Amino acid sequence: MRVNFVIGGTQKGGTSALDAFLRQHPQICMPTTQKELHFFDRETENTDYKSYHANFKPEKRHRVVGEASPIYMYWETAPYRIWSYNAEMKWIIALRNPVERAFSHWNMERKRGKESLPFPEAIEHEAERARAALPLQHRVYSYVDRGFYAHQLRRLFNIFGRENCLVLLNEELRDDHTKSLRRVFEFLDVDLATIPQSTVFEQEYDEQIDAEMRSRLIDIFQFDIREVEQLLGRDLSAWYSKK
């Protein structure tokens, strides 16, 4: 048995929904222990794949085996470790407007008790706080850094090939999950007739980003978003529009 696909990112992009949808498909085997295994983003080199495989209970009906650890896309060393494990790994990536993603990430860390600063201050001090994790990336204080998708996508395309990377937009998965899931199931080569009808999306936050902060973040991300547009051949102008 070998895991042959990952829902590899982005954090707060809809990976929990994708995980829940795929678990309902009779031909897809997902971990029985937990959603995020974090096997390939550990900095203690681990090639004990038996311990990794112990999280799965594949049956004869299963055609593919996969897991969802959204940090894999962001973590610099994870794609290379995954390539060493399975050079033919398929990647499912859900991208979200990086401004909204950053704010959702901050809300999550605040709920977890790992963030005490208001959102504008957390963004302002991100770089200096993240230095504590060098030479690695910071797992918590990476609100802006995780949203620079162009480098992350280019790295995956270079290592695994574009044909092994399926990129979805969070708004597509949320607003038309049937069409999006058909794309996923076709990508994984499983039965297209099984489409889960339930929707599983995280609760929206009552507080919203103020207009000035949103404008500042759009300025930070705009060039990268335009790069992503070129990489994907998609119109992402809604992500950097200030109207």
Q: What is the pLDDT of residues 165-193, one digit of tens each?
A: 999 999 998 888 889 999 999 999 999 87
Task: Let me know: does 108 contact 100? Beta carbons within 8 Å.
Answer: no
Name the helix (H) or strand (E) containing 16. helix 15-23
168, 186 contact by CB (below 8 A): no
What domains are there in the chain, each with its CATH number? 5-240 (3.40.50.300)
Which residue reads 């990952």 in tokens?
6
Environment class of residue 21 by beta-carbon count within 10 Å: exposed (0-12), middle (13-18) or buried (19+)?
buried
With pLDDT > 70 as the criterion, what percentage of the chain qualifies? 95
Q: What is the pLDDT of residues 26-38, one digit of tens each?
A: 999 999 998 899 9
What is the side-by-side strand order in the sheet with 64-68?
A: 28-29, 64-68, 5-9, 90-95, 165-169
pTM of the model: 0.92
Q: Which of 126, 120, 165 is nearest to 146 (CA)?
A: 126
